[in-house]
Amino acid sequence: MARSRLERLTGLLEQQMDADLLLDPEVGKELVLFTSLTGREVALFVDRRGRVVDLVVGDAHTVVMMDHDIRRGTRRLAGVRCIHTHPGNSPHLSDVDLSALRQLRLDCMAVIAAAEPHRGSAAYLSPDGESAIETVGPLRYEKLCAFPWRETVRLYEKSASSVETTATGAEKERAFLIGLEETAAGEEPPLEELAQLAETAGAVVVGRMTQRMERPDRATYLGSGKIRELTLALQVTRADLLIVDEELLPAQQRRLESLTGIRVVDRTAVILDIFASRARTREGKLQVELAQLQYLLPRLTGQGQALSRLGGGIGTRGPGETKLETDRRHLRRRMSELEGELNHVRHHRERLRHSRQRSDLPLISMVGYTNAGKSTLSSLLVARFAPLGGPSPAGEDKLFATLDPTTRRIRLPGEQDVLISDTVGFIRKLPHSLVRAFRATLEEIVAADLLLHVVDASHPAAVEQMRTVEAVLAEIGAGEKPVLTVLNKIDRLQPGGMDALLRPPDPWVALSAHTGEGVDGLLEKIARLLPDDRVTVDVLIPYDQGKQIDHLYRIGVVRELTYEAEGVRIRADVPKVYAGALLGRQMTVPEET
């Protein structure tokens, strides 16, 4: 019985209907009868000549709307209408139905309830807007079959033909986020950080989905059942980009794109895209390009014989080199060039560090999670405590606002000058390609005398962010450096929040870089942590060697200056390393009291 019913249903593929009718009433009766007997949805696709071009049978809950490459443009309709059934007595179109209408740009979408009296509804794209949909119903079965679908198509395509084709600006991508659920108590909601990354990259987040799994599926990242749920969610949200909260294997990325029908990128690709938009200096651009090429190399794929072409020229005839191999060779050559240029940058930074070491100025590097407030704190310190003043890049409340590091000079209590360096922020699951590419920049952290670990104390996942930074420091060889933890953004804590404030291991200090509260205490603690190896000297500088006076002002703190017959006598605090060099200038070193 069931087999004969299925045979009668497949016989509809040979059916020629009246082109003016939305649905032949006899054909519709076959559809609802099959659904009533089996409990399965069935969908019929009909072209404008009345020919049935496809028939799809689903399960008790849904039917997959097939895309037969029938779309003919971004504004034109597909030339095909879809009529499908709903088990039970619901005559209303679902969100998935309307999404399929919009995504496939169907002439019309209709549904018929399998239960008597077989009422139904119809929907079509409105000429009033690109994404607007008009719905009609519920209607009686006979009225639904005679629905004037041709008139709605004529009005829409007349409107589409009058639309100007000039571009009005790039529209933001609609991103859907997926990931594995691993949220513990006290942490931020799942995919919250990925959503911030997507928005920073310029996308609009339209949906999220997580699955509790011990490890990602090696083929599709999510489980097969979740993939099916994801496909329907992508239709409903009209997403055109899928972002995964892990670094995908190339095979996983290709499989996901095949199953979902939209572009798929992973967390690493989003971070690299943000870095590419943030880089301003030549060094930053070189480092980002190298990281992007390291990410791209294993993801190059060929397309069968279409890419098996010769390089050209004598000596290349025969099997030759495939296009894929040529692309990989070009990438490796460019990567080698970038590494060479970055080696020059690295040597240049080493010379700068040696120059700073000769001036014996301690170097303090600020490290921390992205958007913890490092740049804001650096700007405040330079504005208030730089010896000669001067501008400093202002911080912004967004991820990776500062990519290119900056080093400035500030003066601590006791008139001691130090250099403070603001470095790129870290993040959970930081791509290893970025760590390798930014080696020249991160060496500033390794060479520092003291690290300021800036923590967003108001963030719900502050403890996890601290662990992430500590792991990256250990990875780059700075895990044993002396660290002063700076709990920032205390102005954002709720009333009474100071009592529940995170208490990291000593030494630590709490402050607000936004309001300036607690900054003086930070400088006092830095001064106590840095070794003070200065001595007080009394030296006579001849009048014909005035440049030495300027030198003393730059390397030390001048306490007293008097003019004598032979020259200028200066009493100053200078690093011990310079005391010996000044012995030949009638210098005396006062005894320590």
- Is 300 within the bounds of a domain? no
Decide which of 273, 302, 325 is a domain's last residue.
273
Q: Can you give the CATH number for the domain in which 259 is found?
A: 3.40.50.11060
Tokens in use for 63? Answer: 């039917």
- In this structure, the answer to whether residues 7 and 131 fall within a common structural domain is yes
- In this structure, the answer to whether residues 24 and 152 fall within a common structural domain is yes
Q: What is the pTM of this model?
A: 0.62
Q: Which amino acid is at 511?
A: L
- Is 563 within the bounds of a domain? yes
- Is 318 within the bounds of a domain? no
What is the distance of C-alpha 488 from the center of its chain?
A: 24
- Is 470 within the bounds of a domain? yes
Using the predicted structure, report yes or no on whether residue 283 has a pLDDT greater than 80: no
pLDDT digits (tens, 9 = 90+) for 232-253: 788 778 788 999 998 888 888 8
Q: What pLDDT score does 440 carry?
A: 61
Reported as a pLDDT band with limits 50, 70 and 90, residue 121 is very high
Q: Can you give the CATH number for the domain in which 545 is found?
A: 3.30.70
Q: What pLDDT score does 307 carry?
A: 40
Decide which of 273, 307, 326 is a domain's last residue.
273
- In this structure, the answer to whether residues 517 and 448 fall within a common structural domain is yes
Q: What is the dihedral of CA 475, 477, 482, 486, to 10 degrees?
A: -40
Reported as a pLDDT band with limits 50, 70 and 90, residue 454 is very high
- In this structure, the answer to whether residues 517 and 544 fall within a common structural domain is no
- In this structure, the answer to whether residues 268 and 141 fall within a common structural domain is no
Q: Can you give the CATH number for the domain in which 376 is found?
A: 3.40.50.300
Tally of structural domains, the chain: 4
Collapsed DSSP state (helix, strand, coil) of residue 554: helix
Q: What pLDDT score does 126 carry?
A: 82
Using the predicted structure, report yes or no on whether residue 148 has a pLDDT greater than 60: yes
- Is 19 within the bounds of a domain? yes
Using the predicted structure, report yes or no on whether residue 528 has a pLDDT greater than 50: yes
Domain range for 547 is 534-585
Measured distance CA(405)–CA(444) in Å, rounded: 9
- In this structure, the answer to whether residues 203 and 115 fall within a common structural domain is no
* Least confident among 256-260, 527-531, 551-555: 551-555
Nearest one of 525, 519, 486, 503 to 372, comparing CA atoms? 486
Most confidently modeled range among 275-279, 431-435, 537-541, 583-587: 537-541
- In this structure, the answer to whether residues 569 and 502 fall within a common structural domain is no
- In this structure, the answer to whether residues 149 and 8 fall within a common structural domain is yes
pLDDT digits (tens, 9 = 90+) for 58-113: 754 454 454 444 444 455 777 888 998 888 888 888 887 887 787 778 889 999 99
Residue range 182-200: average pLDDT? 72
- Is 417 within the bounds of a domain? yes
- Is 592 within the bounds of a domain? no
- In this structure, the answer to whether residues 525 and 540 fall within a common structural domain is no
Q: Which long-range contacts (CB under 8 A, 24 or more apart) does 492-500 make?
A: 492/458, 493/457, 493/458, 497/458
pLDDT digits (tens, 9 = 90+) for 14-53: 778 888 888 888 888 888 888 888 888 888 888 888 888 8
Which residues in 423-533 belong to E strands, given as ranges?
450-456, 483-488, 508-510
- In this structure, the answer to whether residues 544 and 507 fall within a common structural domain is no
- Is 552 within the bounds of a domain? yes
Output helix, strand, coil percentages for the chain, rounded to the nearest 5: 40, 20, 40
- In this structure, the answer to whether residues 246 and 130 fall within a common structural domain is no
- In this structure, the answer to whether residues 578 and 523 fall within a common structural domain is no
Say if residue 239 is exposed, middle or buried (CB neighbours under 10 Å; 0-12, 13-18, 19+).
Answer: buried
